[in-house]
A and B are shown apart, each in its own frame.
Chain A
């Protein structure tokens, strides 16, 4: 038996969970065994219809009187108990924060090995897994062996295509009631607070609009400020601009300034000196607006616009304002 932990939002399975499910099914096929899913939450049972498309034969709906909301240790404990119950050789989880946390707890309970962020798993002749997994955020692959009576793998995000099974199944829904101690329930989500995005420091901003020497002077930062406001972000500057006295020292992004890690860094008129790139390499993505198509920043960016920021940014601001 392969047991897949499936996350869902109000009964709709999470995409990464479906990817993990595809991996789980391929393992079940290779091992000639059945595929079961473990689901939590009130709407968990409603998942059964969805999961049939992916070849799940049993959906185990974990319920417990004290299990309301997410409780990592209790969930992990439950998965472990279920795996033991089902004599599941492998537990597959999605490569999400929650998936990893649940798997780690389950692994601890089961005293079983766990391989996180797998991108390929083959079943060897001896039944052991020959797998490849991400290291260094995906910059490296590790080839590893994983074996044991119980074992856990997580499927790295967006590495496995979500594929429907050749033959749709009609899974049975089984309620599973774990035996939980108070100890397992001591960690749980107490409340959810909504985020506050006002006045974010550079290091925490999800959008940073950076301006370098290409901005040309202190006044032209107004356009960048406006863009940052429209995107709920913050303005930063390169050392060259700081040295010109156009921006205060605190605005510096770079080796000797702030290290940023936004979802997107919009670099305007910044050439991309090493000093600067070190500060913004934590950015998820970089959009460069620069007149020089060979500038270093364009080599490092995900997207580039070749052009004068003084022409591009005001039009961009207008376009964003028109949308809203």
Chain B
């Protein structure tokens, strides 16, 4: 079984996000980059499924040359191959991205790598458009389940679970399929030092992305960093006298009682 995990390079932000002067992007000059936790889980899931069923695990991203860093993270986690759909660094919208990924999947299939399972994070960490996985599935004519926190593959069928209040909705879909996953589906591994070292030396596949947005427009005008509430905690009280307030919080605010 061949599994493809699609990820997105995003700045590794702290509590407060600082924008560039033109308000078009995050000032990441001193931050470094990462991918969303959902996508780390997608890579881990790809690797685990391949470990269980054979085949190979690929990782793909659409982004600038620097996004190879995230691909190498995937390789260090023991993905087998990596593909960069290399852009000039400009931000791609969700529909063009989906189109480019669908085209890349077709191209890779033409080159002999058919993917039985495409994994995405349920939404990206930065733009959170909630649609790339679904649009890729529809372009490829494949079934799609989203927001998945458990996944088993048996006899060509993916059994996928989504958390809902009071339990888990179970979907069964035939492969090939698209699944978007949520953090918690697995515990992404930390790459071993040796694997990280080897991943730095591995060859990556570079492809020219081809994707069109389609009808209508959805475009970013600018970003805005809203005032954040960084005030200290609400003090419920001193010592044991605060117990009734704690119970109230547990009961009403967090609803764990």
| Chains A and B touch (C-beta atoms under 8 A apart) | yes
Residue ranges of A at the interface with B (Cβ–Cβ < 8 Å): 70, 72-73, 76, 97, 100-101, 103-105, 107-109, 111-117, 128, 130, 132, 134-137, 139-151, 154, 183, 186-195, 201, 203-204, 206-207, 231-233, 261, 263-264, 282, 284-288, 293, 298-308, 311-312, 315-316, 319-320, 323
Cβ-defined contact, A104 with B130, below 8 A = yes
Cβ-defined contact, B240 with A315, below 8 A = yes
- A221 CA / B233 CA spacing, docked (Å): 24
Comparing B54-62, B108-116, B214-222, the segment that makes contact with chain A is B214-222
Residue ranges of B at the interface with A (Cβ–Cβ < 8 Å): 13, 17, 19, 26, 37, 93-95, 122-123, 125-131, 133-135, 138-139, 141, 143-147, 161-164, 166-174, 183-184, 187, 213-226, 228, 230, 232-240, 242-247, 249-250, 253-257
Cβ-defined contact, A140 with B226, below 8 A = yes
Q: Which of B139, B163, B256 contacts A231 (CB 8 A)?
A: B256
Known A-B contacts A188-B171, A192-B170; the reply to A299 vs B233 at CB < 8 A is: yes
List chain B residues, Cβ under 8 A from A103.
130-131
Closest residue of chain A to B94 (Cβ to Cβ) is: A114
- A282 CA / B183 CA spacing, docked (Å): 10
Q: Which of B94, B95, B217, B256 contacts A145 (CB 8 A)?
A: B217
List chain A residues, Cβ under 8 A from B249.
287, 303
Chain A nearest CB from B27 CB (Å) reads 12
List chain A residues, Cβ under 8 A from B228.
139
Closest residue of chain A to B130 (Cβ to Cβ) is: A100
Cβ-defined contact, A261 with B183, below 8 A = yes
List chain A residues, Cβ under 8 A from B215.
111-113, 148-149
Known A-B contacts A315-B240, A320-B257; the reply to A136 vs B131 at CB < 8 A is: no
- A101 CA / B143 CA spacing, docked (Å): 13
User: Besides the contacts A97-B162, A189-B169, what 15 more A-B pairs have beta carbons closer than 8 Å?
Assistant: A100-B130, A104-B135, A108-B134, A117-B128, A132-B224, A139-B225, A142-B222, A142-B223, A143-B222, A187-B173, A206-B256, A298-B233, A304-B233, A312-B246, A323-B257
Main secondary structure of the interface of A (DSSP, over half): mixed
List chain B residues, Cβ under 8 A from A150.
216
List chain A residues, Cβ under 8 A from B216.
111-113, 146-151
Chain B nearest CB from A207 CB (Å) reads 5
Cβ-defined contact, B219 with A312, below 8 A = no
List chain B residues, Cβ under 8 A from A136.
13, 17, 125-126, 128
List chain A residues, Cβ under 8 A from B94.
114
Chain B nearest CB from A287 CB (Å) reads 7
Cβ-defined contact, B224 with A143, below 8 A = yes
List chain B residues, Cβ under 8 A from A186.
143, 173-174
- A111 CA / B96 CA spacing, docked (Å): 11
Main secondary structure of the interface of B (DSSP, over half): mixed
Cβ-defined contact, A190 with B170, below 8 A = yes
Q: Which of A191, A301, A312, A323 contacts B239 (CB 8 A)?
A: A312
Q: Which of B135, B146, B164, B172 contacts A190 (CB 8 A)?
A: B172
Chain B nearest CB from A96 CB (Å) reads 10
Known A-B contacts A107-B135, A203-B184, A287-B246; the reply to A147 vs B217 at CB < 8 A is: yes
- A144 CA / B187 CA spacing, docked (Å): 35
Cβ-defined contact, B128 with A305, below 8 A = no
Q: Which of A141, A302, A315, A323 contacts B223 (CB 8 A)?
A: A141
Cβ-defined contact, B239 with A307, below 8 A = yes
Q: Which of B133, B219, B223, B256 contacts A140 (CB 8 A)?
A: B223
Cβ-defined contact, B167 with A301, below 8 A = no
Q: Which of B17, B130, B144, B221 contacts A144 (CB 8 A)?
A: B221
Cβ-defined contact, A109 with B243, below 8 A = no
Cβ-defined contact, B225 with A305, below 8 A = no
Cβ-defined contact, A305 with B126, below 8 A = no
Chain B nearest CB from A270 CB (Å) reads 13
List chain B residues, Cβ under 8 A from A73.
138, 143-144
Chain A nearest CB from B205 CB (Å) reads 27
Cβ-defined contact, A109 with B138, below 8 A = yes
Cβ-defined contact, B242 with A307, below 8 A = yes
- 7 residue pairs of the A-B complex, CB under 8 angstroms, read A100-B131, A104-B146, A114-B94, A132-B224, A204-B184, A299-B230, A320-B250
List chain B residues, Cβ under 8 A from A201.
187
Q: Which of A201, A263, A287 has the most CB of B within 10 A?
A: A287
Q: Which of B127, B133, B219, B234 contacts A303 (CB 8 A)?
A: B234
Cβ-defined contact, A189 with B171, below 8 A = yes
Chain A nearest CB from B57 CB (Å) reads 22
